[in-house]
């Protein structure tokens, strides 16, 4: 049995988790989830039926992790030899920007895609305030460094970078120079290319 069972669909946030799995060179078996016929095994470990979901077949029993950000963090912790965990002086940026991407950036992208940006009066209640404020804040951080935590790639870049990469590709993240340079650096990684090749092949297969 593989160390991980990976429930995913290539047209989903499962692409984030696959990239993370490749970054740590994880031994995993994929289960492609049909939206209209979700497998009982997935629903048993994640009643929401969401992907990505991973099941870690640990020596002392199975452990389920859901939510792409949590999966990224879990894999970095379980595979410290991949050197994707933050150093002491990188921890603040690592945590801040993973949660920023999971909160304001995710909400901003959905706001643009679904066309429900809050009014000025509603911005105080919205977790991301407004799309421009969120994008300006992220741009200000990325324009002064190569990666989220500075000069070194960490697992934070898998999660934050996936949001920027996907958002620019679908026109919901503005194509600002800092974002474009950041995504270019991420796309040059062999692990990124390998993970995307798997998902792209699966997508192509479904379109035949």
**What integer pLDDT is reported at residue 31 of this predicted model?**
98
Task: Enumerate the domain spans of the chain.
Answer: 4-82, 88-191
Q: How many CB atoms lie within 10 A of CB 198?
A: 17
Q: CATH topology for 4-82?
A: Glutaredoxin (3.40.30)
CATH of domain 88-191: 1.20.1050.10
Counting other chains too, the contacts that 114-118 makes at CB distance below 8 Å and 24 or more residues apart are none
CA dihedral 182, 188, 191, 193 (to 10 degrees): 110
Instruction: Give the end-to-end CA distance of the chain in Å, rounded to a whole number.
Output: 31
pLDDT tens track, the chain, 208 positions: 999 999 999 999 999 999 999 999 999 999 999 999 999 999 999 999 999 999 999 999 999 999 999 999 999 999 999 999 999 999 999 999 999 999 999 999 888 888 888 888 887 887 878 899 999 999 999 999 999 999 999 999 999 999 999 999 999 999 999 999 999 999 999 999 999 999 999 999 888 7
CA atoms within 13 A on the CB side of 31: 21
């Amino acid at each position: 049995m593989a160390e991980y069972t990976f429930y995913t669909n290539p047209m989903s946030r499962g692409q984030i988790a696959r990239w993370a799995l490749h970054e740590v060179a994880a031994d995993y078996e994929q289960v492609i989830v049909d939206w209209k016929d979700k497998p009982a095994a997935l629903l048993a470990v994640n009643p929401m039926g969401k992907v990505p979901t991973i099941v870690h077949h640990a020596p002392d029993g199975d452990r389920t992790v859901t939510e792409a950000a949590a999966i990224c963090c879990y894999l970095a912790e379980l595979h410290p030899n991949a050197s994707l965990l933050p150093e002491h002086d990188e921890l603040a940026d690592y945590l801040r920007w993973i949660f920023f991407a999971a909160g304001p950036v995710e909400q901003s992208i959905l706001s643009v895609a679904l066309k429900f940006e809050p009014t000025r009066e509603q911005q105080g209640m919205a977790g991301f305030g407004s799309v421009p404020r969120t994008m300006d804040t992220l741009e200000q951080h990325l324009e002064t460094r190569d990666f989220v935590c500075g000069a070194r790639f960490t697992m934070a870049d898998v999660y934050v970078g996936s949001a920027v990469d996907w958002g620019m590709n679908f026109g919901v993240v503005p194509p600002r120079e800092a974002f474009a340079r950041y995504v270019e650096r991420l796309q040059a990684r062999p692990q990124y290319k390998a993970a995307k090749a798997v998902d792209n092949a699966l997508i192509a297969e479904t379109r035949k």
